[in-house]
Amino acid sequence: MSSLNDVARRAGVSIATVSRVINKGSNVNEETRAKVLKAIKELKYQPSRVAKRLRSKSTSSNLIGLLIPDIQNPFYVDVLRGVEDVAYENNYAIIMCNFAQDEKKEKMYLDILQQESIDGLIAAPAHEKDSNVIKLLNDGLPIVCVDRGLTGKDVDVVVVNNRDGAYVAVDHLIKSGYKRIAYISGQKQIPSSKYREMGYRDAIEDNGMQVDVELIKYGDSKHGSGVELCEELLSGANPPDAIFTGNNLITLGALETIHKRELRIPEDVAIVGFDDMMWSISLNPPLSAVRQPAYEIGKRACELLIQRISDPKRSPIQMTLNTKLILRKSC
Amino acid sequence: MSSLNDVARRAGVSIATVSRVINKGSNVNEETRAKVLKAIKELKYQPSRVAKRLRSKSTSSNLIGLLIPDIQNPFYVDVLRGVEDVAYENNYAIIMCNFAQDEKKEKMYLDILQQESIDGLIAAPAHEKDSNVIKLLNDGLPIVCVDRGLTGKDVDVVVVNNRDGAYVAVDHLIKSGYKRIAYISGQKQIPSSKYREMGYRDAIEDNGMQVDVELIKYGDSKHGSGVELCEELLSGANPPDAIFTGNNLITLGALETIHKRELRIPEDVAIVGFDDMMWSISLNPPLSAVRQPAYEIGKRACELLIQRISDPKRSPIQMTLNTKLILRKSC
DNA sequence: GATAAAAATGTAAACGTATAGGTTTTTATT
DNA sequence: AATAAAAACCTATACGTTTACATTTTTATC
C-alpha cells in the first residue's frame, strides 16, 4: 500500500498538497491537482484509515461499534440491517460485536471498541445497570441504546412499547376465550422482559382474571429455555391453554416442545409470540405474533448516533416505536 | 484515554520502559515494573490498537475482516458464530461486512477493510471471479474463502460437498417415488448453486430419468425468489410433484407459496431444502433438509486464517466438509 | 578497586495522516 | 514599477505505539 508520501514524491509536490487535493481541495492549482490525481491513480493510493484515526480524534474516523447480545436472534439481525443501511449511506463502517449474553465477552469487546477509537456505539446493554456500557458512556463516548435503556443515565434510547405490545396480545388471547394463559419470559433482568410481563399481568387483571404465578416461567431468552420451560408448563398438574412467549427464540423452542408432545395448536394450546419473523407464516401453524419494527429500530438508532457524534451536546432522545399484533392461525 | 506518555510521566520512567513492561517484560527491574503497573492501574491505561496497528504491520494488529453476502441468511449467521468463537479465543476482533449481494457495496467494504489494515480476511466472494476479492489477494492479504473458491487462484478454501449433498437429497426423492422433481437454484453464478445443480442432474440421470429443464428455475438466493419461482413452477402446465430448493431462504419462500395455494406437503408437493435450521422441525410440516456444518465452516476458516497470518508461505488448503440429509416430514 | 559484562533504562525515529504557520509565487492595485 | 493581497505550496509537528540503538547503572571477575 502506498502512502501520501509516495504520492507526493511521484507528483513532485509536498504531502500537504496531496492532502489538500484529497480533502478540501481549496487553494490548489488546477495543474498540480491534475498531477496529484494522476499519481494517486497510478499508485492506486488509498488513504490509511488507521493513520487518519490516530491523527485526529476531532475529525471523524467513520467507525462505529455495534454491540449485540445474540446474533442468533433474528430480531438483532434486522436491527443490524437497519443500522448498516444508514451507516453505509453515511460512510461509516461498523464493527459488530456479538457478546452472546456473556458479560465477560461483552467487556472484552467494549475494551476493543474503545481501543479502536470508535466514534460512537450502538448497544443493547446486557441489562439496565450494565456497568461496561456505563463506563464508556461516562468516558464521553457517543452511545445510543437499543431495546433497553440504562437506569439513571440520560442517554439516547430506541425502544419498543413492550408493555402495550404484550397487553394487546394477551388481551386478544383472553377475548378469544382462553382461560389459563402462561408467559415464558426471557431473562428476568432485561427491561423488555419486565415490561412484557407487566403487559401480560395488566391484561389479565383488566379482564377480571387473576394472575397465576405458576404460569410465569423465567428463562434466558434462548431456544433451549423455550423448549424446557414449555415442557415444564405442559407437564404441570394444571397446564395452560395458551402460551405467550417472550421472544422469537423462545417461541421456536416452545413450538418444538408442543410438536414433540403432538399437541394441536391452537386446540390444545394456543400460542402467540413476541417478535414476528419473515417466515412465521410457514410455521406449523402460521404463527400469531407481536411484530417489532426491528429494522426501523436499527435505522433510527444509527441516525441518532450520527447526529450525536456531530453534536455531542444535543439533549438525549428517548424514542418509542410501536408494535403490531399479527394474527394468523396459532391462536 | 491516557497514553503511554501519561503512564511514563506518572511512573517517572520513559515510555520505552512502560512499553517493555506491557509487552515482553524482559529486562526490567521488579521495582520499576511495580511502579509502572501501579500507574497503569491508576490511569486506567488502555493501549491504542490504532497506534499499534499504524506502528507495526509486522506485529499483528489482531483485526480480521469477515465478508458475507447476506446476513439474513441463517447459514451465514452460523458461519459468523464459528468465526467469532475462534477469533475470540485468539484475541482477534472482527469487522463484519454484509454486502447484501451488492458488488458495489462489496467493493466499498473491501476498500474499508484494506484501509483499516486488517490482518486477514474471511470472505464468501460474490462469485468465482470476484475481482474485488482477487485484488486483495494479489495485494498479499491473507484470505480464506468460504462456501466458494476463486477460479485460478490458489487460496485457502472451506467448502461443503455441494454436489453430493444435492445428489443424496434428490436421489432420496426419486427412491421415494417422486417423478417430477424441480430445482429452484440460487444465483446461477455462484459455485454452490452449480454444484447443487450438478448433484441434482446426476441423481436424476443415474436413476434412469431425464432432466426436464422446465423444472429448473434460477433465482437470486433470497426469500422473494423462492416465493416467485415456486409460484411459476406450480402454475405451470405440468407441475412438479417434488421440489428441491437451493438454500434455506428459497425454501422458506417456496413454503410460503405452497401454503398460500393450500397444497398439502408432501402429498401434493414434497420439498427438501438445502440448509437445515434449528427450527426446521417446527415448520409445517417439519422440513427435510440437507444440513451443512455451517458453524464448523466458520470455525475451520478462522483457524486456517490465523495459521496463514502467522505463516503466509504455507501452501493453501482446500477443506471440504460433508453434508447430511436430515429426514423429517416434508418428503 | 579497576575493568568488563550484563542489566536497566532512556532517546529518537518511524508508521501515515492532518494542519497550523511560514514561505514563495502569482495577481491586483496604485 | 512598487507594493499589497491573495493564492499556492511547503515545513514541521502531533497522534500513540514499537524498537533499534545509545547510555547509564548494577553486578561479576580478577
* Cβ–Cβ gap A117/B88 under 8 Å: no
Percent share of chain B, pLDDT over 90: 92
What's the whole-number mean pLDDT along residues B164-169?
Answer: 98
Q: How far apart are CA A182 and CA A200, in angstroms?
A: 9
Summary mean pLDDT of chain B: 94
B219-277: per-residue pLDDT in tens?
A: 999 999 999 999 999 999 999 999 999 999 999 999 999 999 999 999 999 999 999 99
By Cβ distance, the residue of A51, A84, A93 closest to B54 is A51
* Cβ–Cβ gap A282/B255 under 8 Å: yes
A96-114: per-residue pLDDT in tens?
A: 999 999 999 999 999 999 9
pLDDT recorded at residue B57? 67
Report whether pLDDT(B71) > 70. yes
User: Would you call A103 an interface residue with chain B, using a CB distance cutoff of 8 Å?
Assistant: no
Q: Which residues in chain A (112-131) have CB-CB distances under 8 A to chain B?
A: 112, 114-117
Read off the pLDDT band of A240 (50, 70, 90): very high
- Which residues in chain B have Cβ-Cβ distances shorter than 8 Å to A47? 115
Q: Which residues in chain B (190-249) have CB-CB distances under 8 A to chain A?
A: 223
pLDDT recorded at residue B60? 67
pLDDT recorded at residue A60? 66
- Which residues in chain A have Cβ-Cβ distances shorter than 8 Å to B46? 111, 114-115
User: Would you call B301 an interface residue with chain A, using a CB distance cutoff of 8 Å?
Assistant: no
Distance of CA A179 to the CA centre of its chain: 34
Take residue B27 and report the three cell numbers written for it. Answer: 529486562
- Which residues in chain B have Cβ-Cβ distances shorter than 8 Å to A94? 95-97
Report whether pLDDT(B58) > 60. no
User: How does B247-279 read in b/e, with b if 16+ C-beta sit within 10 Å?
Assistant: bbbbbbbbbbbbbeeeeebbeebbbbbbbbbeb
Q: How far apart are CA B279 and CA B299, in angstroms?
A: 22
Read off the pLDDT band of A121 (50, 70, 90): very high
- Which residues in chain A have Cβ-Cβ distances shorter than 8 Å to B105? 88
- Give CB contacts under 8 A, 24+ apart, made by A176-180: A176/A270, A176/A331, A178/A241, A178/A242, A178/A270, A178/A331, A179/A209, A179/A241, A180/A212, A180/A215, A180/A238, A180/A239, A180/A240, A180/A241, A180/A242
CB B69 within 8 A of CB B24: no
* Cβ–Cβ gap B77/A77 under 8 Å: yes
* Cβ–Cβ gap A283/B282 under 8 Å: yes
Report whether pLDDT(B59) > 70. no
Take residue A98 and report the three cell numbers written for it. Answer: 456479538
Q: At what angle do helices A248-260 and A223-235 cross, to 10 degrees?
A: 50
Report whether pLDDT(A266) > 90. yes
Report whether pLDDT(A84) > 70. yes
* Cβ–Cβ gap B54/A49 under 8 Å: no
What's the whole-number mean pLDDT along residues B194-206?
Answer: 97
CB B74 within 8 A of CB B293: no
CB A17 within 8 A of CB A36: yes
CB B160 within 8 A of CB B193: no
Cα dihedral value A25, A28, A31, A37, nearest 10: -30
Report whether pLDDT(B13) > 90. yes
